[in-house]
């Protein structure tokens, strides 16, 4: 596959992924990461060095918008590296960025309170096992307890596969298609429950810029249960992923947040 950008012919190959919207373009020593119809939010993320630098944006004949980002030699963070201080600091930078928040507000992206999230998505929650029913009961019982909270820019999928570190040590969080305004516990919960030992949560939160409390813990448990139930209910997981999600759900349900 070949295409021409600015009068130069590039070889273009798929970058993989589930959507089929990402490509790698190369001409001699020049290389870009291309994406079709990525969010306009990408420019703001690039300006804050949260994603690799945006080089240019181009609208093609069929109406699609193609963005090109600087190609970096990088690798995915391992699960063990997710507890690193760099991760806590970058997530804090994202959550505390007024520039990102204002940009997302202008784009009229979704902003959900726990009650709105629960009402919108509860129809996909599974309730076939005792653990799933216990999780659902917890969500219902604690809706009012977690309702009040600030709204920040949340990534929505804090999986280690979305964290990239370059050969120069630069850390990036990629794949922002699901960004929304929500409680910061939405992101923090999945990171802590999946990757950070519970005894290290207070020190991790201190680096992030927060203080451990019973209220924080309740929110973390609520959002982690919500997101794990939602993933299980969507029916898009492989057998291995479903097994892992069920193990995580059991871990969260058994967690005593007091």
Neighbours of 195 (CB within 10 A): 20
d(CA 212, CA 197): 14
In 3D, which of 74, 75, 50, 81 has the Cα closest to residue 194? 81
Reduced to 3 states (helix: H, G, I; strand: E, B; else coil), residue 104 is helix
250, HSE (Cβ side, Cα atoms, 13 Å) = 8
d(CA 63, CA 37): 9
Reduced to 3 states (helix: H, G, I; strand: E, B; else coil), residue 13 is strand
* Phi, psi for 174 (deg, rounded to 5): -115, 180
Please, is 17 exposed, middle or buried when counting C-beta atoms within 10 Å of its C-beta (0-12, 13-18, 19+)?
Answer: exposed
Q: Which residues are catalytic?
A: 157
């Amino acid at each position: 596959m070949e295409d021409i950008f600015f009068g130069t012919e590039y070889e273009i190959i798929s970058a993989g992924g589930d959507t089929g919207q990402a490509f790698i373009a190369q001409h001699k020593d020049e290389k870009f990461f291309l994406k079709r119809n990525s969010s306009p939010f990408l420019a703001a993320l690039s300006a804050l060095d949260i994603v690799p630098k945006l080089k240019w944006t181009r609208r093609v004949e069929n109406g699609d918008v193609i963005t090109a980002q600087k190609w970096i030699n990088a690798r995915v963070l391992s699960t063990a590296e997710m507890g690193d201080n760099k991760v806590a600091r970058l997530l804090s930078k994202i959550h505390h960025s007024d520039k990102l928040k204002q940009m997302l507000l202008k784009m009229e992206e979704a902003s959900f309170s726990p009650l709105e999230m629960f009402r919108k998505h509860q129809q996909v929650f599974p309730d076939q096992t005792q653990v799933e029913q216990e999780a659902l009961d917890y969500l219902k019982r604690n809706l009012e307890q977690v309702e009040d909270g600030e709204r920040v820019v949340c990534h929505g999928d804090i999986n280690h596969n979305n964290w990239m570190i370059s050969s120069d040590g630069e850390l990036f969080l990629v794949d922002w298609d699901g960004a929304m305004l929500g409680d910061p516990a939405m992101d923090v919960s999945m990171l802590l429950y999946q990757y950070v030992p519970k005894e290290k949560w207070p020190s991790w939160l201190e680096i992030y810029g927060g203080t451990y409390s019973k209220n924080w813990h309740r929110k973390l448990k609520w959002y982690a249960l919500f997101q794990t139930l939602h993933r299980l209910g969507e029916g898009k997981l492989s057998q291995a992923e479903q097994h892992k999600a069920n193990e995580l759900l059991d871990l969260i349900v058994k967690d005593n947040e007091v």
